[in-house]
Amino acid sequence: MTNPEVDQRSPDRRARDEQIAAEPQMAPLDLPRDVPFSSVEAYLGPHRRRPLAVTGVVENGLVRPLDPAVKLPEHSRVIIVTTEGTPKVNWQPVITSLTQHSPDVAKALACWKRETSLAQELFKCLEWPPSKQSFPGLFGWKNFTSDKRITVGGFDFVTEVKKVTEGTEYGYWHAVSQGLIYRFLMSLQEREDTPVLCIILDWGRKSGEKLPAEEKKFLGQFRRDGLFFVRFNFIKQPFVEHNLASEDWDPIEWEPTA
Protein backbone atom coordinates (compact mmCIF):
# COMPACT_ATOMS: atom_id res chain seq x y z
CA MET A 1 0.00 0.00 0.00
CA THR A 2 1.40 3.40 -0.96
CA ASN A 3 0.95 6.66 0.89
CA PRO A 4 -0.16 9.53 -1.37
CA GLU A 5 2.34 12.36 -1.45
CA VAL A 6 1.35 15.93 -0.63
CA ASP A 7 0.37 17.78 -3.78
CA GLN A 8 3.19 20.32 -4.09
CA ARG A 9 2.19 21.70 -7.47
CA SER A 10 1.66 25.43 -7.81
CA PRO A 11 -1.89 26.65 -8.56
CA ASP A 12 -0.83 27.46 -12.14
CA ARG A 13 0.70 24.01 -12.66
CA ARG A 14 -2.34 22.31 -11.14
CA ALA A 15 -4.68 24.28 -13.41
CA ARG A 16 -2.55 23.41 -16.45
CA ASP A 17 -2.51 19.70 -15.52
CA GLU A 18 -6.29 19.67 -15.09
CA GLN A 19 -6.71 21.47 -18.42
CA ILE A 20 -4.55 18.90 -20.20
CA ALA A 21 -6.38 16.00 -18.53
CA ALA A 22 -9.75 17.46 -19.60
CA GLU A 23 -8.79 17.74 -23.27
CA PRO A 24 -10.57 15.28 -25.59
CA GLN A 25 -8.68 12.18 -26.60
CA MET A 26 -7.00 12.17 -29.97
CA ALA A 27 -8.85 10.34 -32.71
CA PRO A 28 -7.29 7.06 -33.86
CA LEU A 29 -5.06 7.24 -36.92
CA ASP A 30 -6.90 6.94 -40.22
CA LEU A 31 -4.98 3.98 -41.62
CA PRO A 32 -5.91 1.46 -44.29
CA ARG A 33 -7.43 -1.69 -42.87
CA ASP A 34 -4.69 -3.88 -44.34
CA VAL A 35 -1.78 -1.88 -42.94
CA PRO A 36 0.65 -4.14 -41.00
CA PHE A 37 1.03 -3.76 -37.26
CA SER A 38 4.24 -2.31 -35.83
CA SER A 39 5.78 -3.39 -32.54
CA VAL A 40 6.49 -0.99 -29.70
CA GLU A 41 10.19 -1.61 -30.26
CA ALA A 42 9.88 -0.45 -33.86
CA TYR A 43 8.09 2.71 -32.72
CA LEU A 44 10.64 3.57 -30.04
CA GLY A 45 13.70 2.39 -31.97
CA PRO A 46 14.38 5.55 -34.00
CA HIS A 47 14.48 7.70 -30.87
CA ARG A 48 17.84 8.30 -29.31
CA ARG A 49 16.64 7.77 -25.74
CA ARG A 50 16.54 4.15 -24.66
CA PRO A 51 13.09 2.95 -23.43
CA LEU A 52 12.75 2.80 -19.63
CA ALA A 53 10.15 0.85 -17.65
CA VAL A 54 9.17 2.20 -14.22
CA THR A 55 6.36 1.40 -11.78
CA GLY A 56 3.98 4.12 -10.69
CA VAL A 57 0.68 4.89 -9.00
CA VAL A 58 -2.22 7.12 -10.04
CA GLU A 59 -2.94 9.98 -7.62
CA ASN A 60 -5.30 12.88 -8.30
CA GLY A 61 -5.53 11.68 -11.89
CA LEU A 62 -1.75 11.87 -12.42
CA VAL A 63 0.80 9.05 -12.64
CA ARG A 64 3.60 9.31 -10.06
CA PRO A 65 6.68 7.03 -10.23
CA LEU A 66 7.02 5.05 -7.01
CA ASP A 67 10.79 5.51 -6.98
CA PRO A 68 11.45 9.17 -6.06
CA ALA A 69 14.88 8.91 -7.70
CA VAL A 70 13.28 8.52 -11.14
CA LYS A 71 13.27 11.85 -12.97
CA LEU A 72 11.66 11.88 -16.41
CA PRO A 73 12.45 14.68 -18.86
CA GLU A 74 9.62 17.08 -19.67
CA HIS A 75 7.50 15.96 -22.65
CA SER A 76 8.83 12.40 -22.41
CA ARG A 77 6.79 9.94 -24.44
CA VAL A 78 5.27 7.32 -22.15
CA ILE A 79 3.20 4.17 -22.58
CA ILE A 80 0.99 3.38 -19.57
CA VAL A 81 0.05 -0.23 -18.90
CA THR A 82 -2.51 -0.72 -16.13
CA THR A 83 -5.09 -3.16 -14.83
CA GLU A 84 -8.77 -2.76 -15.60
CA GLY A 85 -10.00 0.43 -13.98
CA THR A 86 -12.42 0.63 -11.09
CA PRO A 87 -15.65 2.60 -11.51
CA LYS A 88 -15.12 6.30 -12.09
CA VAL A 89 -16.00 7.76 -8.72
CA ASN A 90 -16.24 11.18 -7.16
CA TRP A 91 -16.82 10.64 -3.47
CA GLN A 92 -16.17 14.27 -2.47
CA PRO A 93 -19.90 15.22 -2.16
CA VAL A 94 -20.39 12.12 0.00
CA ILE A 95 -17.37 12.94 2.20
CA THR A 96 -18.63 16.50 2.61
CA SER A 97 -22.06 15.22 3.60
CA LEU A 98 -20.60 12.72 6.08
CA THR A 99 -18.42 15.43 7.65
CA GLN A 100 -21.42 17.71 8.02
CA HIS A 101 -24.02 15.23 9.25
CA SER A 102 -22.12 12.48 11.12
CA PRO A 103 -22.72 14.10 14.54
CA ASP A 104 -26.47 14.04 13.79
CA VAL A 105 -26.24 10.37 12.81
CA ALA A 106 -24.39 9.47 16.02
CA LYS A 107 -26.94 11.31 18.14
CA ALA A 108 -29.97 9.85 16.37
CA LEU A 109 -28.76 6.23 16.18
CA ALA A 110 -26.84 5.94 19.46
CA CYS A 111 -29.61 3.89 21.12
CA TRP A 112 -31.51 2.79 18.02
CA LYS A 113 -33.02 -0.67 18.46
CA ARG A 114 -35.16 -1.21 15.35
CA GLU A 115 -32.68 -2.75 12.93
CA THR A 116 -35.15 -2.86 10.04
CA SER A 117 -35.43 0.96 9.99
CA LEU A 118 -31.76 1.78 10.60
CA ALA A 119 -31.00 2.55 6.96
CA GLN A 120 -34.09 4.73 6.64
CA GLU A 121 -33.12 6.80 9.68
CA LEU A 122 -29.48 6.96 8.52
CA PHE A 123 -30.43 8.41 5.13
CA LYS A 124 -32.77 10.86 6.83
CA CYS A 125 -29.96 12.16 9.04
CA LEU A 126 -27.57 12.40 6.11
CA GLU A 127 -30.23 14.09 3.94
CA TRP A 128 -29.74 11.49 1.21
CA PRO A 129 -32.98 10.94 -0.74
CA PRO A 130 -33.16 7.17 -1.46
CA SER A 131 -34.67 5.33 -4.39
CA LYS A 132 -35.40 1.63 -4.84
CA GLN A 133 -32.78 -0.67 -6.37
CA SER A 134 -33.34 -4.39 -6.92
CA PHE A 135 -31.36 -7.05 -8.77
CA PRO A 136 -32.14 -10.52 -10.16
CA GLY A 137 -31.63 -13.38 -7.74
CA LEU A 138 -29.00 -16.12 -7.71
CA PHE A 139 -28.97 -19.76 -6.58
CA GLY A 140 -32.75 -19.97 -6.31
CA TRP A 141 -33.20 -16.60 -4.57
CA LYS A 142 -35.83 -14.58 -6.46
CA ASN A 143 -34.23 -11.14 -6.21
CA PHE A 144 -31.88 -8.99 -4.16
CA THR A 145 -33.06 -5.65 -2.79
CA SER A 146 -30.32 -3.23 -1.85
CA ASP A 147 -30.57 -0.66 0.93
CA LYS A 148 -31.38 1.92 -1.76
CA ARG A 149 -29.78 3.78 -4.59
CA ILE A 150 -28.49 7.22 -3.62
CA THR A 151 -27.53 10.32 -5.56
CA VAL A 152 -25.43 12.96 -3.78
CA GLY A 153 -24.15 15.99 -5.65
CA GLY A 154 -24.92 14.32 -8.98
CA PHE A 155 -22.91 11.22 -8.01
CA ASP A 156 -24.83 7.94 -8.13
CA PHE A 157 -24.14 4.79 -6.06
CA VAL A 158 -25.81 1.76 -4.48
CA THR A 159 -25.73 1.28 -0.70
CA GLU A 160 -25.60 -1.72 1.59
CA VAL A 161 -26.10 -0.88 5.28
CA LYS A 162 -25.06 -3.47 7.85
CA LYS A 163 -25.48 -3.30 11.62
CA VAL A 164 -22.79 -5.05 13.66
CA THR A 165 -24.61 -5.99 16.84
CA GLU A 166 -23.13 -6.28 20.32
CA GLY A 167 -20.65 -9.16 20.67
CA THR A 168 -20.57 -9.96 16.94
CA GLU A 169 -18.54 -9.03 13.87
CA TYR A 170 -20.21 -10.72 10.91
CA GLY A 171 -21.75 -7.51 9.55
CA TYR A 172 -18.42 -6.80 7.90
CA TRP A 173 -18.21 -9.87 5.70
CA HIS A 174 -21.96 -9.79 5.06
CA ALA A 175 -21.42 -6.31 3.58
CA VAL A 176 -18.53 -7.59 1.44
CA SER A 177 -20.43 -10.58 0.06
CA GLN A 178 -23.60 -8.60 -0.61
CA GLY A 179 -21.67 -5.78 -2.26
CA LEU A 180 -19.80 -8.16 -4.55
CA ILE A 181 -23.11 -9.73 -5.59
CA TYR A 182 -24.51 -6.30 -6.50
CA ARG A 183 -21.40 -5.42 -8.50
CA PHE A 184 -21.55 -8.73 -10.39
CA LEU A 185 -25.22 -8.31 -11.22
CA MET A 186 -24.67 -4.71 -12.34
CA SER A 187 -21.89 -5.94 -14.67
CA LEU A 188 -24.44 -8.22 -16.33
CA GLN A 189 -26.59 -5.13 -16.89
CA GLU A 190 -23.59 -3.23 -18.33
CA ARG A 191 -23.58 -0.81 -15.41
CA GLU A 192 -20.03 -1.41 -14.23
CA ASP A 193 -19.53 2.29 -13.47
CA THR A 194 -21.89 2.30 -10.47
CA PRO A 195 -20.00 1.65 -7.20
CA VAL A 196 -21.37 0.11 -4.02
CA LEU A 197 -21.00 1.94 -0.71
CA CYS A 198 -21.00 -0.46 2.26
CA ILE A 199 -21.99 1.40 5.43
CA ILE A 200 -21.08 -0.38 8.67
CA LEU A 201 -22.97 0.68 11.82
CA ASP A 202 -20.72 -0.80 14.49
CA TRP A 203 -21.80 -1.76 18.00
CA GLY A 204 -19.83 -5.04 17.80
CA ARG A 205 -16.56 -6.48 19.08
CA LYS A 206 -14.40 -3.84 17.34
CA SER A 207 -16.52 -0.88 18.44
CA GLY A 208 -14.79 1.80 20.45
CA GLU A 209 -11.49 1.50 18.55
CA LYS A 210 -10.12 2.18 15.07
CA LEU A 211 -9.72 -0.72 12.67
CA PRO A 212 -6.16 -2.12 12.66
CA ALA A 213 -4.03 -2.01 9.52
CA GLU A 214 -4.67 -5.63 8.46
CA GLU A 215 -8.46 -5.20 8.62
CA LYS A 216 -8.29 -1.94 6.65
CA LYS A 217 -6.14 -3.73 4.09
CA PHE A 218 -8.61 -6.62 3.85
CA LEU A 219 -11.54 -4.28 3.16
CA GLY A 220 -9.41 -2.01 0.98
CA GLN A 221 -8.64 -4.76 -1.53
CA PHE A 222 -12.26 -4.57 -2.71
CA ARG A 223 -11.93 -0.95 -3.86
CA ARG A 224 -10.71 -2.26 -7.20
CA ASP A 225 -13.97 -4.25 -7.41
CA GLY A 226 -16.02 -1.09 -6.90
CA LEU A 227 -16.72 -1.63 -3.16
CA PHE A 228 -16.06 1.20 -0.73
CA PHE A 229 -16.60 1.39 3.03
CA VAL A 230 -17.82 3.86 5.64
CA ARG A 231 -17.75 2.75 9.27
CA PHE A 232 -19.72 4.46 12.04
CA ASN A 233 -18.53 3.69 15.57
CA PHE A 234 -21.13 4.26 18.30
CA ILE A 235 -19.36 3.01 21.45
CA LYS A 236 -17.43 5.40 23.74
CA GLN A 237 -16.57 8.45 21.65
CA PRO A 238 -18.43 8.21 18.29
CA PHE A 239 -16.39 8.60 15.12
CA VAL A 240 -16.43 7.70 11.43
CA GLU A 241 -13.69 6.26 9.25
CA HIS A 242 -13.81 5.57 5.52
CA ASN A 243 -11.69 4.56 2.53
CA LEU A 244 -13.51 6.71 -0.02
CA ALA A 245 -10.65 9.09 -0.84
CA SER A 246 -7.79 6.58 -0.79
CA GLU A 247 -6.63 3.23 0.55
CA ASP A 248 -5.62 5.05 3.74
CA TRP A 249 -8.73 5.25 5.89
CA ASP A 250 -9.60 8.84 6.77
CA PRO A 251 -11.26 9.63 10.12
CA ILE A 252 -14.14 12.02 10.72
CA GLU A 253 -14.20 13.16 14.34
CA TRP A 254 -16.00 15.89 16.23
CA GLU A 255 -16.27 17.31 19.71
CA PRO A 256 -19.04 15.74 21.81
CA THR A 257 -21.97 17.99 22.68
CA ALA A 258 -23.76 18.09 25.99
So what's the pLDDT on residue 3? 58
Rounded Cα distance between 254 and 256, Å, is 6
pLDDT tens-place string over residues 125-152: 999 998 888 888 888 888 888 888 999 9
Q: What is the domain partition of the chain in residue ranges?
A: 1-82, 92-252
Q: What's residue 199's pLDDT?
A: 93
Q: What is the pLDDT of residue 59?
A: 65
What was the pLDDT predicted at 157?
92
3-state secondary structure at position 232: strand
- Crossing angle of helices 118-126 and 92-109, rounded to 10°: 120
pTM listed for this prediction:
0.66
The pLDDT value recorded for residue 1 is 47
Low-confidence ranges of the chain (pLDDT < 70): 1-6, 40-41, 43-51, 59-61, 82-88, 112-116, 191-192, 256-258
pLDDT of amino acid 5: 62
